[in-house]
């Protein structure tokens, strides 16, 4: 299955500015979608699509900061680059604290916008990789038997095979057998790797 190409989503209520943004962003990025309001974007966006959001701050009805807050509340992981004609420090700090990648004041240099979008797309890609690893680890954990899970919990507690055998009232051979099976199911080549996979959730 081909990996879905990331999209740069543009939201600005000024038609001339939106046209200019589309032209500017398309010069450097392949997939671009433009929306004239936060509501229009929300109606069209399918959660889980990879990409980033280039967002005007001052818009009627729902402004850019409110849209950012809504996305955060809904756990929609879409990095935001803000653009604004009238920023203030408090506004910029609030946006960055909520996870914005950058806060660009108009007029901005095209390279500044392109660099911010690249950074946002990289952030999204890294986040998606983390999520995929987390889902994979959870899936592997769900395949462990109750006995294997008990052994895993004690390994994570720093216990050695002899201690695990004593704690669970098992032979060392049985503990070694369960340990080998859970290492195979978790696809872990070392205890360090096993710990990383087990705590990723």
Q: What is the mean pLDDT of each run of 10 residues along the chain (201 residues)?
A: 80 95 95 96 93 93 91 90 81 81 90 96 92 90 94 94 95 95 93 86 53
Note whether residue 108 is domain-resident: yes
What backbone torsions phi and psi does residue 84 show, to the nearest 5 degrees? -155, 150
Last residue of a domain, one of 132, 153, 186: 132
Residue 188, number of CB atoms within 10 A of its CB = 18
pLDDT at 198: 86
Which of helix, strand or coil describes residue 103?
Answer: strand
CATH number for the domain spanning 67: value is 3.40.50.2300
Q: Are 29 and 74 contacting, i.e. CB atoms less than 8 angstroms apart?
A: no
Q: Do 27 and 121 lie in a common domain?
A: yes
The domain containing residue 95 runs over which residues? 7-132
Q: Do 21 and 44 lie in a common domain?
A: yes
Distance CA 7, CA 29 (A): 8
Cis peptide before 107 (omega within 30 of 0): yes
Structural domain count, the chain: 2
User: What is the Cα gyration radius of the chain?
Assistant: 24
Q: Do 127 and 156 lie in a common domain?
A: no
Note whether residue 1 is domain-resident: no
pTM, 2 dp: 0.75
Q: Do 57 and 17 lie in a common domain?
A: yes
Q: Do 72 and 157 lie in a common domain?
A: no
Note whether residue 85 is domain-resident: yes
Note whether residue 18 is domain-resident: yes
CATH number for the domain spanning 178: value is 1.10.10.10
């Amino acid at each position: 299955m081909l990996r879905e190409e990331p999209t740069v989503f543009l939201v600005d209520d000024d038609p001339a500015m939106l046209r200019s943004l589309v032209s500017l962003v398309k010069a450097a990025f392949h997939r671009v979608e433009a929306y004239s309001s936060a509501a229009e974007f929300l109606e069209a966006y399918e959660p889980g699509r990879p990409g980033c959001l280039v967002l005007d701050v001052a818009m009627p009805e729902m402004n850019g900061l409110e849209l950012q807050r809504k996305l955060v509340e809904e756990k929609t992981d879409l990095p935001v680059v803000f653009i604004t004609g009238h920023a203030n420090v408090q506004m910029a700090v609030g946006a960055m604290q909520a996870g914005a990648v950058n806060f660009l004041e108009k007029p901005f240099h095209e390279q500044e916008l392109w660099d911010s979008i690249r950074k946002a797309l990289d952030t999204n890609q890294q986040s998606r990789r983390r999520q995929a690893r987390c889902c994979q680890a959870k899936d592997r954990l769900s395949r462990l038997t109750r006995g294997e899970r008990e052994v895993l919990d004690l390994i994570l507690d720093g216990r050695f095979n002899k201690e695990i055998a004593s704690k669970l009232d098992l032979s060392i051979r049985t503990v070694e057998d369960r340990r080998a099976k859970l290492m195979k199911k978790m696809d872990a080549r070392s205890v360090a790797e096993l710990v990383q996979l087990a705590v990723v959730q």
